[in-house]
Amino acid sequence: MPGPTKIYFPQIAVGWEDWVQIVNVSNEPAHLMAVARNQQGQTVWSQEANLGPFQAFTTAADTIKVPVSMTVSSNKPIVGERHCHLGTVVFYFPGASPEHCTVGNRLFFPEIYEGGGDWFQILNVSEQPTNINVIVREKSGKVYKQFGIQNLASSTIGTLLILIRAT
């Protein structure tokens, strides 16, 4: 499967030590552009780079001071990962792409923590507004909660907070 030429990171958080690392996975030089957008879809930061074959590049995402999403585009196949550090807590999130089947119109999350406040950052990567519909089910399959976001504009972020209480 060919690598993607565009990858998405729905959330780059403030308060964490975040960075995004990109690797050119082609045998040819690549030109890439990283663009960060605020929750309204406005560009607040960008960075360009030229990479040799299989060269890695770390964006300056740690300089961004507002919550954003990031899209990284290249003229050659790329892969990328977001690294998040807070004290001793470390998370790694691969960039999403249609080629890796991590961008889609149906996502499934098998577990949401009871008693916690889980949230999802949804980035509309299409050119058109979209509707986000969420169905939360109990272990038995019964619908616990159903809600959504209507008309989420292109390149904007929707935040969905899901509070689950023991019944």
Other CB atoms closer than 10 Å to residue 70's CB: what's the count?
A: 26
pTM of whole model > 0.85? no
Confidence (pLDDT) at 111: 62
CATH number of the structural domain 6-100: 2.60.290.11
> Is 44 in contact with 38 (CB distance < 8 Å)?
yes
Backbone φ, ψ for residue 97 (5° rounding)? -155, 150
More confident residue, 135 or 101: 135
pLDDT tens sequence across 39-96:
888 999 999 999 999 998 988 887 888 888 899 999 999 988 887 777 777 666 666 6
Residue 107, pLDDT > 80, answer no
Mean pLDDT of 129-138: 81
Residue carrying the six token digits 């058109």? 128
Give me the residue spans of the domains in the chain.
6-100, 117-163
User: Residue 143 corresponds to which tokens in the numbers above?
Assistant: 């619908």
Question: 17 is written with which tokens?
Answer: 């030590």
The count of residues in the chain is 167
pLDDT tens column, 19-42: 888 999 999 999 999 999 988 889
